[in-house]
Structure 1
C-alpha cells in the first residue's frame, strides 16, 4: 500500500471496570463549506483481537 496510514487504538473504559482497545478512525464530514470532526469505529468483525 502506497498511502498506508497507522492509527493508534483508543482505550475504552467499560462500565464493568474493564479496559478495552478499539480501532477508532478520525473523520472529517463536510457539506456546503461546513465541517465536523468525528470518530468512526472500524468494524473489523471481531470484538477480541490478539494482535497488538
Structure 2
C-alpha cells in the first residue's frame, strides 16, 4: 500500500477574480549549488510542467542558452517547433 500524504487546498483568484480552491505543494528546487523554496500546483493529470521564468533566474539558470524541441499533440502533431528561451 502507498503512503499517502494530504495537502491542503488554498484559495486563489484567477485573472477574472474568480475564487477557487487549488492544491499547492511546498517544494525545494535545486539547480547546481542554489536552492529556492516555492509552492507548486499539485496537478496529477498534467502532461506539461512549467517553471516560471523568475524561479529559473533565482536558481541561476541561463535561459538564453537553453534550446529545446517540443512535440505537439492533437491537430498540431505534424509540426515540430524548436524554441529559444
| TM-score interval, normalised by the smaller of the two chains | 0.5 to 0.7
> Unpaired segments of 5 or more residues in structure 2?
46-85
The CA deviation at 1:10 is 1.2
TM-score by length of 1: 0.58
**Over 4 Å off, 4+ runs:** none
Post-superposition offset of 1:35: 0.3
TM-score (norm 2): 0.41
User: Which consecutive residues of structure 1, in runs of 5 or more, have no partner in the other structure?
Assistant: 46-52
Match of 1:39 in 2: 39
